Amino acid sequence: MREKHSTSFHEFISLDTEQLRTNFLIEELFKINSIEINYAYSDRMIVGGACPQNTLELTPVSVLHQNYFLERREMGVINIGGTGSICVNDVEFELNTRDGLYIGMGNESIQFSSLDASNPAKFYFISTPAHCTFPTTKISFSSVGKVDLGSVSAANERTLYKYIHPEGVKSCQLVMGFTDLKEGSVWNSIPPHTHERRSEIYCYFDMPQQDIVFHFMGSKDQTKHIVVKNEQAVLSPYWSIHSGAGTTRYAFIWAMAGENQLFQDAQSIDISELK
């Protein structure tokens, strides 16, 4: 387990490239036959990845001081690899690529496995604190609600898929889904915005290994960027914009936690205000 400590905006201004990467970038999520876990102190979010060849069991990490991982937490999972399954308290859920699963608080046993060890599943998961239990629910990609956004002329034509949200699969505070850019589009979340009442995590995926995304963060007049590769994640504090521009099209999983689950609380920023 790795820990990511909260960073204030005043500290952020003075960080160099390596310090930015240390504080905000998660470089390795899918290590073969391993569960990688990162604890972000901002909103107490846990971000991780499981890439099983053999069955892998999710066990509690020391920082939680809990008897089992979801004793006081909930979890959202999206599979971005080969077909696999997640066994939750002896109930098995098969997930094809881009299928998701919401797991409610109080589920003691969670096991990850792959259908084909030569093409393992890649389970990307986010866990947040919870105060009550919602039903564990499989989210088939074919049934996910979607919204088309952007335009060809702005190079940001994209489709947003909503997995865990107030009008769909419900949770205590977790909101989760992913955005898929169309061919020829490279920008996301433009014009940018911030969320004062929730933090966000982006996981960029579905792009060739040689390509990258420039992830922009900071306040509107103090922006910096982090170079992000395929299947890496970036932490976005409440005070930061979170936009990206890639060397090719890509997709990214977004997940948020905090006081509010509604997107209407976002503070929009005009492009002309950026520096």
Per residue of the chain (275 residues), give pLDDT as tens.
888 888 888 889 999 999 999 999 999 999 999 999 999 988 899 999 999 999 999 998 888 888 999 999 999 999 999 999 999 999 999 999 999 999 999 999 999 999 999 999 999 999 999 999 999 999 999 999 999 999 999 999 999 999 999 888 999 999 999 999 999 999 998 888 888 777 899 999 999 999 999 999 999 999 999 999 999 999 999 889 999 999 999 999 999 987 766 766 777 888 899 89
**Residue 148, domain member (yes or no):** yes
Residue 62 located in a structural domain: yes
Which amino acid, 241?
A: I
- Domain span at residue 47 reads 7-273
pTM given for the model:
0.94
Whether 1 maps to a domain, the answer reads: no
- Total domain count, the chain: 1
Residue 149 is assigned to a structural domain of this protein: yes
CATH of the domain at 127: 2.60.120.10
Domain assignment present for residue 101? The answer is yes
Q: Which residues have CB under 8 Å from 194's CB, separation 6+? A: 219, 238, 239, 240, 241, 266, 267, 269
Asked, for residue 14, whether it belongs to a domain, the answer is: yes
In a domain? residue 2: no
